[in-house]
Structure 1
Amino acid sequence: MGILNVTPDSFSGDGLASDVKAAAARAKAFENDGADVIDIGGESTRPGAKPVGADEEMGRILPVVKALTSATSLPLSIDTYKSQVAAAAIRDGVAIINDVWGLLHDARIAEVAAKRGAILVVMHNQHGTDYEDFVPDVLQSLARSLELAYQAGVPGEHIIVDPGFGFGKTPAQNLELLRRLDEFKSLGHPLLIGTSRKSTIGLVLDLPVGERLEGTAATIAIAIAKGADMVRVHDVKAMARVAKMSDAIVRGWTAPE
């Protein structure tokens, strides 16, 4: 899953703001570099980022969505926690709703997904980093998100789970999350993980955001070994190769004849 930020304040410094042509060109490059999905974000989720209203978010992402439906053959994902934005994006050609609040901010997103037959990603998130028992608490919260999705009529085969690396967690908790990622398979859904360029990598390696490629690669290899089915990344070409090699080791590989 290639990350396409159309924001002026992306934490990774790759936001394209309102440059539709540049967004379309990057999406095409992602496709050529091995992406399977393009995830479009119109609001920065970095810590301390200013919230964006639904109208402003739609103004950022909908022109890009419309351009990308002709610029690439890849399925499109919208990174939003607002049902109004999700509905508009689905109407214009998006196939996946990636909700960073796991329906806990706006449960109507599940209704949008159910009505339109969209794939739904529910991610764990919370305010603060306090837990009684870290992984069981995250699992319990995700189970609640899944129940909301089921109640709205989203088929189980249309749901992906993201345990939320970098959201509502300390760096130590993020690393524990990766070590114990296999425990999230108990939820019965494919796993998505987004570690790309995140601050935990920067803290461990003492590197700025633009120099976290190798650290990201390590997290992706470990995540796939622990059961991740999809990885959300900025550096598509390099990480597609890491994912392909990791997947061959973990799931097996047959040499071409």
Structure 2
Amino acid sequence: MARPGGMCDRSVMPSAETAAPLRPNGRPLPRRAVMAVVNRTPDSFYDRGATYAFEAALTAVDRVVAAGADIVDIGGVRAGPGEDVDAAEERRRVVDLVAAVRERHPGVVLSVDTWRAEVGAAVAAAGADLINDTWGGADPELAAVAAEYGTGLVCAHPGTLEPRMRPHRTAFDDVVADVLAKVLGEAERALALGVPRDGIVIDPAHDFGKNTRHSLEITRRLGELTGTGWPVLVAVSNKDFVGETLDRPVDRRGPGTTAVLALSAWLGASVFRVHDAAGTRRALAAVERLARN
């Protein structure tokens, strides 16, 4: 448990059995699962469009699966502000890729990062197992799509009112309490709609509508989220709060990212959304070894 002031209790041990096992769309995942990012966007903040072309994206999927990714998370729209991407263009970017990856890697869990119900339905029909709703129910029909198709659902705390908007809120009375209220509400709503319980994941959404202080506070107190019994996803890879904390540009945030991931694993997180699947797999193996001793 975290102390009331937001500091982690240093005596806490990893809550390896806190969350129920995850099985999005009936596909079992390990206790700590690596989710690798593959974006079909020309303006990704990290790779600047390196995997935008179809064949480049497919090659990237091959690479991260070989590196040990348990989940591949495909995105067709940059998270931050940028060029307008309508639903038709988002479908063009992701649906055929999902179908190709499903055929090429039948054992991998396939996730798609979208907030749109119509895109969620299209990718679920093409073989996606998990819908990563980073924008936390901006389209209220998306959870019903997950229920209809039997896919899993990530319930996130975007901290903003609209997708792709980036106001950095500074007026949370308690950012972790706000996160808990939002994600637990979304998770219970999804469950009531018929999304399988073993497919629901909660995500505090570091940096989404939050400043660096908020993201650091969430990281310190992650045990409050993992203590709910819901599996927790952390998406911290190369994010601005890591860069601002260490004064590093986006291409030099790897060590800081690994530190946050290791701490999150120690505090009981279940899914780790990352750009470096191989490095994350090694970091999680170290945490698992420490936890056994």
The TM-score with structure 2 as length reference comes to 0.81
* Higher share of residues assigned helix: 1
Please state if 1:21 is matched with 2:55: yes
* Pair 1:125–1:146, CA change in 2 (3 A): same
Question: Match for residue 29 of structure 2?
Answer: none
Report the residue type matching 1:188 in the other structure. Answer: G
User: What is the match of residue 63 of structure 1?
Assistant: 96
Structure 1 runs (4+) deviating above 4 angstroms are none
User: What percentage of residue pairs aligned between the two structures are identical?
Assistant: 36
2:20 aligned residue = none
- Residue number in structure 1 paired with 2:19: none
Aligned residues: 250
Give CA deviations for 1:158-191 in whole Å, capped at 9, x if unaligned: 2011111111111011011000001012432111
Q: Is the 8 A contact 2:265 2:284 kept in 1?
A: yes
Partner of 2:187: 146
For residues 79-104 of structure 1, give each alpha carbon's deviation from its aligned partner in whole angstroms, at most 9, with x where no partner exists.
Answer: 0000000100010011110001222x
Q: Where does residue 7 of structure 1 map in the other structure? A: 41
- 1:1-257 superposed matches below 5 A: 1-16=35-50, 18-46=52-80, 48-73=81-106, 74-103=108-137, 105-127=138-160, 128=167, 129=169, 130-250=171-291, 252=292
Shift of 1:14: 4.7
Task: Give the 3-state SS of the residue equivalent to 1:69 in structure 2.
Answer: helix
Higher relative contact order (CA 8 A, sep 6+): 2
Unaligned segments of structure 2, at least 5 residues: 1-34, 161-166
Matches of 1:161 and 1:33, distance apart in 2: 25
Partners of 1:123 and 1:248 in 2: how far apart?
A: 30
Q: Which runs of 5+ in 1 are unaligned?
A: none
Inter-partner Cα distance in structure 2 for 1:110 and 1:188: 20
What SS does structure 1 have at the residue aligned with 2:155?
strand
One-letter code of the match for 1:12? Y
Asked whether the 8 Å contact 2:158–2:209 carries over to 1, the reply is yes
